[in-house]
């Protein structure tokens, strides 16, 4: 922290004022991003020859570049930490600073996920091993490749939200034909859906 001394004279008595001037952390950084690619910028103006950088990108990968560009495999929120290390002539660390910044990666509007499911009417709850009811149907999410990380799952019966589980056991009040839809909302805002008309028997 820099200290500025101001000397004011009132008559024959000098008055000294200590004014503190904040110093920006030399390890602080900014970012620019396009979709899943993020560029990191450092405002460091010291001796760059004697400085070393270490970046922790929050996804398990690192870099020692001055201003790296990083491509994230998944969209979402990441806590990025930057260490700035000052070295002496022998290469030993004499000081270090660090900064933390939250980075959000935006995704292109790509809807490659194709929802799919199977269903089976059952009288037994497979989780609790107890009677589930005569008009209960077990739905199994069989989306090819699985549901992408961070995506939300919704099941609708005749347009009514019924469950947010991956493989729900849905109880129908009576037998008949119902339209069941599996809807998946991806992190990039894309919504994909598959619907099927099923017949539920009433025993």
> How would residue 104 be classed by pLDDT, with cut points 50, 70 and 90?
confident
First to last CA, the chain: 80
Domain 117-200 has CATH 2.60.40.10: yes
Average pLDDT, the chain: 81
- Sheet holding 37-42: strands in order across? 29-34, 37-42, 69-71
| Residue 5: partners with Cβ closer than 8 Å, 6 or more residues away | 16, 17, 18, 19
pLDDT tens digit string along 27-75?
Answer: 888 888 887 789 998 877 666 567 889 999 999 999 999 889 998 877 7
The class of domain 29-105 in CATH terms is mainly beta
> How would residue 9 be classed by pLDDT, with cut points 50, 70 and 90?
very low
- Best CA proximity match to 68, nearest among 103, 94, 92: 103
pLDDT at position 124: 59
Q: Which residue in this structure is represented by tokens 């010291």?
A: 46
For range 3-20, the mean pLDDT: 45
Q: Is there a shared CATH topology between the 29-105 domain and the 117-200 domain?
A: yes
Q: Where are the domains of the chain?
A: 29-105, 117-200
Would the CA dihedral through 37, 42, 47, 53 be positive or negative? negative
What is the rounded CA–CA span in Å between residue 137 and residue 69?
Answer: 49
| CB count in 10 Å sphere of residue 87 | 15
| Residue 168: partners with Cβ closer than 8 Å, 6 or more residues away | 138, 139, 155, 162
């Amino acid at each position: 922290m820099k200290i500025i001394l101001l000397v004011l004279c009132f008559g024959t008595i000098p008055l000294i004022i200590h004014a503190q001037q904040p110093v920006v952390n030399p390890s602080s950084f900014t970012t620019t991003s396009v979709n899943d690619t993020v560029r990191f910028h450092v405002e460091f103006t010291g001796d760059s020859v004697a400085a070393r950088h270490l970046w922790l990108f929050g996804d398990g990968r690192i870099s020692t570049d001055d201003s790296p560009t990083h491509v994230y495999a998944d969209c979402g929120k990441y806590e990025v930490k930057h260490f700035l290390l000052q070295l002496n002539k022998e290469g030993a660390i004499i000081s270090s600073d660090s900064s933390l910044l939250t980075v959000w990666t935006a995704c292109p509007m790509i809807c490659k996920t194709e929802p799919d499911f199977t269903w089976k009417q059952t009288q037994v709850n497979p989780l609790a091993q107890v009677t589930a009811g005569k008009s209960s149907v077990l739905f199994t999410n069989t989306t090819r490749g699985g549901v992408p990380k961070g995506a939300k799952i919704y099941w609708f019966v005749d347009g009514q939200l019924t469950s947010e589980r991956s493989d729900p056991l849905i109880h129908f009040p009576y037998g008949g034909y119902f339209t069941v839809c599996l809807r998946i909302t991806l992190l990039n805002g894309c919504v994909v859906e598959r619907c099927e008309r099923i017949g539920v028997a009433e025993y």
